[in-house]
Amino acid sequence: MRRSFSQRRWLFSVLLFLAFSCSQPEKAEIIQEQVIPGELPDPTLIEVDGTYYASGSSNAWGPYFPIYESKDLKNWTFVDYVFREKPEWTINSYWAPELFYKNGTFYCYYTARRKDGVSMIGVATTKNIKQGFQDHGVIIEWGEEAIDAFVNQQGEDLYITWKAYGLTKDKPITLLGSKLSKGGLSLEGESFEVLVAEADSWERGGIEGQTIMERDGYLYMLYSGNACCGANCDYQVGVARAKTMEGPWEKFEGNPILVGNENWKCPGHGTAVQSDGEWYYLYHAYPAQGFPNLGRSALLSQVDWDEATGWPKFAANSQVGSAAILATDFTDQFDGNVLKANWRFDVEAGNVEAKIEGGNLILTADSSATPAFLGINPEKANAEFQTQVLGKSDALRSLIFYVTRDNSLGLGVQGDSLKLWKLQGGDFNVLESKAIDAFAGVQLKAKMTDGKMFRFSFSIDGQNWEEIGSELAGDHLAWWSWGIKAGVSATGGEGSFGEFGVRY
């Protein structure tokens, strides 16, 4: 049968549509996937003109609040830090930054401890997120502690919520809320109660780390409960909903909705963002490999919805998702004028005097036992680290694994001796010592296994290597809220280092 032109055109259109449809792969559900390498607790996430920006806690490490950007939520590049220098009012505990954007201005609401030791929430702004933020000081001082800000916009109104301690002696940990001024730099009106932790439920360790999604006339608040950190963590995520910010808020009877699995432990404290009509949740969890020494990583999961009840859910509970851990080899030959952004320093140990000179890194420590230390975040539990100690000095210059100024482990050169040492609870002990000719420089190497076990070796010529001591356990390198750093240190004087590298 001969078809008319219009029939042939219609048939061609149908075939073309079917061919095009079949050629388009379905959008894969992101069940659970690490998207930013290394340690990044308490991640915050925003979208501005098609670009996503993320940041996370710095804890006791400077520079403060690293910023990353992405076009697809999965592939991220480092941008800069919110602060290169700590805000004048702060001393430590740089937690839970909350990025927000409005009318050409980026905001960062962040937690830090004031000089009296009380945690408060500050705010900083910038017109260009790649050029640093200007601090505006404390915005929330509340009870014994105020942490974990989240900002939500409803119509023309801005709201901020936060976790509060010490409201009254018999009051449990509570999430509070308040309106923000139009400029976002001060609270406006009376505060109100949002959620209260229930001591006899899965929330017994407290609630925090809230974020809000809007869907079908409801505000859905994802929040985290229980112990966030360390070897005994039991962090999980629940959800509550309300019609308005002022509530009342209804908790889901099926809480918690996100729990740990065989690859990722203690998930929580994240931020939700909508992309192409779908909601995604960027949050942290400990990798099982190297737990808990490596700290918490940033994961992405897609939010699913129960259409019968309207409540959100996560496929990560029933499917393991990706166990892959992101890691990229790193080498610094100290051939520039400034340190690479990977390097971190311990805020609580004081300022680090570091400079690059003639292709070498030079660290200078005072006469005390506190080392001048610079380190990077190990990105994987199994890795090999190497550096070169240059020249001869009475200072102890080490390849070091460091978690606090009182807890570290390293192999160093001092005078004509090679020393394998351990600092635990402030007590320094030399485990092995070996006489060497250190004048021309010594190569130091450390192999880390499962983030816990360490073997050290050295070389005079860079080709022939000799182990020193036996395999050492780094049990004292597990800390409650951050992971170990690997790097170099100088104690009791000046230390000069050549190339530093890590291979995974």
Name the token pair of 243.
């019609």
Angle 413-394-362 (CA atoms, 0-180°, nearest 5)? 75
CB 445 within 8 A of CB 459: yes
- Is residue 396 located within the same domain as residue 450? yes
Q: How far apart are the first and last CA of the chain?
A: 67
State residue 371's pLDDT score.
Answer: 87
Other CB atoms within 10 A of residue 388 CB: 18
- Cβ neighbors of 20 (< 8 A, separation 6 or more) are none
Final residue belonging to a domain, choices 317, 345, 370: 317
Distance CA 263, CA 201 (A): 25
Burial of 449 (0-12, 13-18, 19+ CB in 10 A): middle
Q: pLDDT 10s digit of each residue in the chain, 504 long? A: 444 434 444 443 433 333 333 333 344 578 999 999 999 999 999 999 999 999 999 999 999 999 999 999 999 999 999 999 999 999 999 999 999 999 999 999 999 999 999 999 999 999 999 999 999 999 999 888 999 999 999 999 999 999 998 666 667 789 999 999 999 999 999 999 999 998 889 998 799 999 999 999 999 999 999 999 999 999 999 999 999 999 999 999 999 999 999 999 999 999 999 999 999 999 999 999 999 999 999 999 999 999 999 999 998 877 667 889 999 999 999 998 889 999 999 999 877 899 999 999 999 987 666 789 999 999 999 999 999 999 989 999 999 999 999 999 999 999 999 999 999 999 999 999 999 987 778 999 999 999 999 999 999 988 999 999 999 999 999 999 999 999 999 999 999 999 999 999
Name the token pair of 385.
């680290």
- Is residue 95 located within the same domain as residue 197? yes
State residue 109's pLDDT score.
Answer: 98
Q: What type of residue sits at position 252?
A: F
CB 208 within 8 A of CB 147: yes
Q: How many CA atoms does the CB half-sphere of 449 hold within 13 Å?
A: 7
- Closest by CA position to 149, among listed 57, 17, 287: 57
Q: Which residues pair with 353 in a beta bridge?
A: 364
- Closest by CA position to 400, among listed 491, 290, 325, 339: 491
- Cβ neighbors of 435 (< 8 A, separation 6 or more) are 416, 417, 418
Q: What pTM was estimated for this model as a whole?
A: 0.92
State residue 16's pLDDT score.
Answer: 36
CB 135 within 8 A of CB 109: no
DSSP β-ladder status, 427-435 and 372-376: unpaired
- Is residue 243 located within the same domain as residue 305? yes
- Cβ neighbors of 221 (< 8 A, separation 6 or more) are 194, 195, 210, 211, 212, 239, 240, 241, 242, 249
Distance CA 53, CA 46 (A): 5
SS3 30: coil
Final residue belonging to a domain, choices 291, 317, 343: 317
Burial of 84 (0-12, 13-18, 19+ CB in 10 A): exposed
- Is residue 61 located within the same domain as residue 199? yes
359 within some domain: yes
- Is residue 190 located within the same domain as residue 108? yes
Domain of 220, CATH number, reads 2.115.10.20
Distance CA 225, CA 239 (A): 10
Final residue belonging to a domain, choices 293, 317, 341: 317
- Is residue 380 located within the same domain as residue 308? no
* Total domains present in the chain: 2
Burial of 407 (0-12, 13-18, 19+ CB in 10 A): buried
2 within some domain: no
- Is residue 282 located within the same domain as residue 334? no
5 within some domain: no
3 within some domain: no
Domain region containing 335: 330-503
What is the 3 state secondary structure string of 117-185?
A: CCEEEEEEEECCHHHCCEEEEEEECCCCEEEEEEEEEECCEEEEEEEEECCCCCCCCEEEEEEECCCCC
CA 203, 207, 210, 213 torsion-angle sign: positive
79 within some domain: yes
18 within some domain: no
Tell me the CA distances in angstroms from 293 to 210, 308, 310, 404, one per residue in order. 26, 42, 38, 12
72 within some domain: yes
Domain of 335, CATH number, reads 2.60.120.200
